[in-house]
Each structure stands twice: as C-alpha cells, then as structure tokens.
Amino acid sequence: MKIVSVNVSVPQTVEYQGEFVTTSIFKQPVNRRVAVHTEHLEGDQQADLSVHGGPDKAVYVYPYEHYAYWEKVLGRSDFQYGQFGENLTIHGLIEDNVWIGDVFRVGTAFLQVSQPRIPCFKLGIKMGDPSFVKRFLQARRSGFYCRVLEVGDVAAGDRIERLERGPNPKMSITFLYRLRFDEAEPDLLQQAVELIPLSTSWRDKFAQKLNE
C-alpha cells in the first residue's frame, strides 16, 4: 500500500450555471513532502468549512484503482491525480477492506478512518458534468475521510501501513454506504450509532434513520 500522489488546492471562484461558486475541489499534485496538520494538509484550504474539512474530514483519500473504472465508464483519458478532489491518491486500499476506525501510518503521520465521502455539486463542476454526482453515489466508489491522530508529513511514494483495525468488522466504508442509503435492520443502525470512531455527523444520520 502506498501514496500515489499528494494533492492540494486553495479556493478559487468559477462560473457555474450563471452564478459564481467558490470551491477547493481543483486539487493539484505536489512534488514535495507536505505537512499533515490536525485539520488539513499544508497548502490545502477548504472553501466552505460548514460542510468540508474539520477534524473528522481532515484528509480525503481516494483509491487509484477507481481511475480505470471511471475512465472506462465515462470514456475519458484526461484524468489527473486529484481528479475527484482527493488529498491522497492511494494504491492498495479499497472501500470493501477499509473499516471505520482503522489506523494507518501514512508517511510519518497517523490517520484514522472516520467516514465515507458524499459528494456535493462541486464534484460535478470539476468533472464538467452535473449528473456525475449521482453516478458517483450509485457506483459506491466513495473513497474515505480520515482524522489526524498524529501530525507528520507525506509525499508520493510513501508507504501506507495499517497499524490497527477498527472495532467493528462489519462497518467497512462500502457497508456504511449501503446502510445509509438502502433499507437497514435496526440492530445494524444501532451498531453504527455506537461506533465511536465514526464521525459525529454520520452517527447522527444513523440515529435519525433508526428513529424514523
């Protein structure tokens, strides 16, 4: 398992459907070591802190393996690292085998998996296709967010080492996506609510679903 690319950006304003939108989704690869801070990578800023960033979403990770899938499905060959707004493009970790609460040494930083990613309309802006957000959700190739347990630094080529497994082997990134958007048994929803490493916002969503 390794980092393929480290990608960062600062907010920029673009025109979208007759309005101006500020976004940081246009990540660009960085060819140097990058510091990992408690809520972001060095040189990376979020445009809307109400829905992006923060301790539970400090680092967004996306599997390089999905690039080939999207290139085939979309008939495109113009992708660059950071295409899906990720901070770290990685190789060797897929959502099926990533549990909430997993702890990884990434470069010299320690990261803990906190939640799947749900895209907003800005991913559609990046892809040049407003309908892509729905396709992204349906494909269940979400990538995942991490919180920073110990600051450090990262660079392309760095090894990724799993140090600790999350507390519930049922709660993979893929499973949580299904649990949130499909029908779910109450006992599984309760397990998600009680999953301490899961971000507060996701635990709250499962609590709401449990009480519906």
What are 9-39's pLDDT values in tens digits? 999 998 888 889 999 999 999 999 999 999 9
Tokens of 127: 């892809």
Mean pLDDT (the chain) is: 94
In Å, how far are 48, 174, 177 from 25, measured between CA atoms?
A: 11, 23, 22
Share of the chain above pLDDT 90, in %: 89
Strands 88-91 and 59-63, how do they pair?
parallel
Q: What's the order of all strands across the beta sheet hosting 144-150?
A: 28-29, 2-8, 88-91, 59-63, 144-150, 109-116, 103-106, 160-164
pLDDT over 70 (residue 49): no
Alpha carbons 87 and 42: distance in angstroms, whole number:
11
Provide the pLDDT confidence category of residue 50 given band limits of 50, 70 and 90.
low
The CATH label, of 2.40.33.20, 1.10.645.10, 3.40.50.450, 2.60.40.730, for the domain at 2-166 is 2.40.33.20
For residue 144, give the 3-state DSSP assignment: strand
**pTM of the model as a whole:** 0.94
Region 144-165: what's the mean pLDDT? Answer: 98
Alpha carbon 194 to its chain centroid, in Å, reads 21
Tokens of 90: 């990685």
User: Where along the chain do its domains lie?
Assistant: 2-166
